Amino acid sequence: MQCRRLRFLTACFLALAYAAPATAAEAAFAYKTSYRNVAEDPDHVWTGTALAPTAKGTVTIHEYQLRTAHGDWLISQIWNEDCSSGACPTRLVRIGEDGHRTVAVDDMMHQVVPPDDPRFATTPMSDAQKTFARRPFALSEDGKTLVNGDYKFEVAGAKP
């Protein structure tokens, strides 16, 4: 258990160390909320086996949001059995004016430790790591690319 936690922390800090903060041409997502020990996703992004309990018996969802003149966006990252060393299933969801949700990116992304996570409150971090922890996701100015540290993802249905 201790070894697994150490590997998790190491992977998180390596991801954070190499992640660049959002540039002026990118719009950064802000932390929204965390849902811990869930069996159902309150925002209906995740369903079915994604919500199956882990070996620890829990599933956690962390969310980040971005409001733009062209619409609202939601990042939902689920910590479940599919998480690997430092990456978890993550979805970028476009929220229409009518509330309709469309998944624009569905991929494995850097596992992000949200700012409200007390387990890591006393862990020392560099300024770059702290910045990444506060704003781990950004949308390119043209809305075509989602940036997660050193990962980049094409946004489905992005308008030229």
pLDDT at 132: 78
- C-alpha radius of gyration, the chain, whole number: 15
Cβ density class 70-100: b for 16+ within 10 Å, e for less:
eeebbbbbbbbeebeebbbbbbbbbbeeeee
Number of domains in the chain: 1
What is the residue-level pLDDT of the chain in tens, covering all 160 positions?
A: 444 443 444 444 434 433 444 454 679 999 999 999 999 999 999 999 999 988 878 899 999 999 987 789 999 999 999 998 889 999 999 998 888 999 999 999 999 988 767 766 777 878 877 777 778 999 998 889 999 999 999 998 765 4
Structure confidence at residue 158 (pLDDT): 65
Q: Count of CB atoms within 10 A of residue 102's CB?
A: 11
Residue 14 lies in a domain: no
Residue 17 within any structural domain of the chain: no
In a domain, 48, yes or no: yes
In a domain, 70, yes or no: yes
Report yes or no on 11 lying in a domain.
Answer: no
Domain that holds residue 87: 30-154
